Amino acid sequence: MTQRKAPLTALIGRRNGMYFVRKQRPPLSADTGEKIGCIWLDMVGKIAYILSSNANNIAKWEKLGTGLYFQKLVLSKATAQAGATQTEGFRYISPAAGASWSEDNIYEWHAGAWVETTAIEGMAVYIDDIDEMDLFDGTDWNNLVSPVTTLAGLTDTTIAGLADGNMLIYDTGTSKWFNKAVSGVITIADTGLTSFSGTPVTNAFVNAAAAIAWSKMAAVASASIVLGSAGNVATVTAVTGDMAISNTGLTTVTDLTIASEAQGDILYFDGTNWVRLAAGTTGLSLLSNGAAANPSWGSPPVASATSLANGCTLNDAGALDAILAFTTQTVAAPTLTIPDFASVSDEFVFKTFTQTLVNKTLTAPDINGGTADSLTGFSIRSSGAAFDLEQDTAEVLTGNKIISWNVGDTNRSITLGGNIALGGTLTTLGAWTQTGAHTIGITTTGATTVTLPVAGILAATTAAGTAGQVIIGATGATGEFATIGHSAGSLTSTAGVNTLNIDTAESMIRTATVAVSSGEIKALNAAPKELIAAPGAGKYIDFLGAVIALDYGTVTYDDAGADGNLQIRYDAATVVSLTVEGNGLIDATEDAATTAKPLATDVTMLANKKIELFNDAAEYTGGAGGDGVLKVIINYRILDLS
């Protein structure tokens, strides 16, 4: 009797160290409740899975095979028919042909006879005496699952270069365990014993809550302090110099040492540091110069005195004036003499007494009345911008008398409040400028000649013009005001024969300047740049030529041999310019320019078509970016052929 595709119903739970579960579905990543190495039997899909990892609470199930035919367990695959126990339900895999057995088939003792199950490819059976699941591959029975016997065999471990004292360290970046040697301030033996290595324990390894007592430190002498040395080592140092310190922390100033100090020096604060004022000359006093100023040596000012035994020196030190105050004189003819004033003996000037001033300069005087005669010259000048020069007189000049003003600075003006009557020629050495809403009129009773200093035109009109009009002249005729209007491509005046014609027809030559950005340069093949918009129905753009210029930026474009050249065209089928080579222009390392000439052959013009700039092959890559821009200056006409 042959049994085929018998279900595996006995393999549930742990069997001699192997762990099986039977389910009616395949496992999921959320099925994390099983142990590593557990075999999951999908009884519906006939597929076996093994749990290889439970890292990060995610189950990793690996498929062992598909289309398996699970069989009830057998006792052995090494027992021959002659040695098999004839007990009801005992099953064996035949290792070799026997009296009634064939090699590799499964035999079960039932009802006093061996019942045969022919081995076919895909059969899976658990073998009890060797604790393994075998799969028949059509030729032999082989172990279906190779048990993991080492850490290196696990899928979530990377074991390499094992050494004594290695530890397993988990890496969240790779979700794996690695063997690592312990390093740093401690070492660990394979017995688990740890010890400090030769590396010093740094401050970073001392916990902030350690609270190490000073009693654990080296002894410190009384009244000493701990200082950092040049070698960055704390050193116990006794306090010396101008200060002493007790072991209670009390400091006492014992001296005050100042650099270059000498007897008689005074110490003061200059706003930043304490500095010394060297001893002054005998007889000088220490003077305060007020807040925010340093003291100095000098002679003190005397507010008042009844007598000065040794004379008196009057010194104006800036803000102070030297003042002499006298009571009523009791001497009949008092004389106050300055014996030496700026190396010259001189006398005081009294404002009440009459005196003659010799070689004196009056500054900003106020002279009221009097007569100034016998003057060889008379000069009045202003020393500031706030003053004007003004002369008022009621005197009448007699014949042959001249009033002259010599204003040395040409930026000064002379203003007359009345009329000027000229009996001769008016000559100006500079420009004659009219300021304000005034009229300059020249009235003559006869023929008058007006001579311009340089070439120019004087226009006389028959009548006053209106706002916006211009003067139009005609050969042999008087100029006149005219209004300019636009009509049918020309500008025409309303002044009859005097016509101003300017051709403004659409067919006139035009020039347009178009900027092409860095992004547009690198996409000219896929998205050509419009240079001239479509002119409208029945109108044609006549391309006359262009200049293409690179305004270099900071990064060079890459125009490799496979990249394209530039063309100006109506569309993909109608090119109007000669091809402009990209090499030397697009990939230039500085500003560059070239011409784009019209084709030498006839071009079929297209109505109402735009003109565009096109890259005829691969896009310019732009190197590391390419940031220059193109400027296209294009000449063209618009022809209306409707």
Number of residues written out for the chain: 642
Torsion of CA 117, 121, 126, 132, to 10 degrees: 140
- Per-residue pLDDT, averaged over 172-201, amounts to 81
Query: Given pLDDT bands bounded at 50, 70 and 90, which one contains residue 82?
Result: very high
* CA 223 to mean position of chain CA atoms: 56
Most confident of 1-15, 260-274, 554-568: 260-274
Query: Given pLDDT bands bounded at 50, 70 and 90, which one contains residue 625?
Result: low
State the CB neighbour count (10 A cutoff) for residue 586. Answer: 28
Pick 510 or 389 by higher pLDDT. Answer: 510
Residue 584 backbone class (left: φ over 0; alpha: ψ -120 to 50; beta: rest): left
Contacts of 312 (CB under 8 A, 6+ apart): 302, 305
- Position 381 scores a pLDDT of 58
Provide the CATH topology of domain 510-640. Answer: Jelly Rolls (2.60.120)
Note the pTM of the prediction, 2 decimals.
0.29
d(CA 469, CA 500): 13
pLDDT per residue as tens digits for the range 565-591:
899 999 877 999 998 988 888 888 899
- Position 447 scores a pLDDT of 61
- Per-residue pLDDT, averaged over 191-209, amounts to 75
Query: Given pLDDT bands bounded at 50, 70 and 90, which one contains residue 614?
Result: very high
pLDDT per residue as tens digits for the range 393-436:
556 666 666 666 665 555 556 665 556 666 667 676 666 666 66
Its sign, for the CA torsion 349, 350, 352, 354, is negative
Q: Which helix (H) or strand (E) holds 521?
A: helix 518-521
Q: Which of 239, 276, 273, 245 is nearest to 259 (CA)?
A: 276
d(CA 499, CA 488): 14
CA distances from 545 to 265, 311, 515, 532, 616 (A): 91, 101, 16, 13, 19
Q: Which helix (H) or strand (E) holds 102?
A: none
Tokens of 86: 């004839």
pLDDT above 70 covers a percentage of the chain that reads 64
pLDDT per residue as tens digits for the range 48-72:
888 888 888 899 988 876 667 778 8
d(CA 636, CA 397): 76
Using alpha carbons only, give the angle 182, 188, 193 rounded to the nearest 5 degrees. 160
Query: Given pLDDT bands bounded at 50, 70 and 90, which one contains residue 122?
Result: confident
d(CA 2, CA 13): 28
**Structural contact between residues 515 and 531, judged by C-beta atoms closer than 8 angstroms:** no
pLDDT above 90 covers a percentage of the chain that reads 20
- Position 618 scores a pLDDT of 83
Q: Which of 585, 591, 592 is nearest to 615 (CA)?
A: 585
What DSSP character marks residue 450? -
* Domain locations in the chain as residue ranges: 13-147, 152-196, 470-504, 510-640
